[in-house]
Amino acid sequence: MNKSISGLWLFSIVIVFMMVLIAYVAISINYSNAYKLKTVLVTKLEQYDGWNNTSKKEIDELMHASGYRQTGNCRVPDDDSKYIGVLNGHVTTNPTTKQNYCVSRVKRAGQNGGEDKYYYNLTIFLGFNLPVLGDIYTFRVSGETGAIYYPKDNTF
């Protein structure tokens, strides 16, 4: 009887270890995919010189093609500047509900009277959910464009 109880404990420890390992690998793979998608979206913002109709269309097409459906709350910028949330292709300024992705623009003054630089911050979300328990936690994956001197945007 003693050996059967110790075998059960060993079996349960192995099962718990396997569950933790599988969860870690699954989260790592999903985070990697979200990070790759974020990088491509930031590149589109740089390619089209900021947030405009063309970059929005490209980003929405990429999101749809990748099967991205996760939502999350946008983080309010520290300087109370304007930010945009997009949910299913619809743009919302300063949203309070969950969005598919968020974009904000940061203006940095040029040094010694130089030209102002604009940077765009893009945030997408990665959710950790289980079938029975639902959403457990939502991770943010953020990226910033390089300096854009003459942004071509129609929203900010």
For the full predicted model, state whether its pTM sits above 0.85. no
Please determine, for residue 71, whether its predicted confidence score (pLDDT) is greater than 70. yes
Burial class from Cβ neighbours inside 10 Å (0-12, 13-18, 19+) for residue 110 reads: exposed
Per-residue model confidence as pLDDT tens digits over 44-58: 999 999 899 999 999
- Phi, psi (deg, nearest 5) at residue 112: 55, 45
Please determine, for residue 106, whether its predicted confidence score (pLDDT) is greater than 90. no
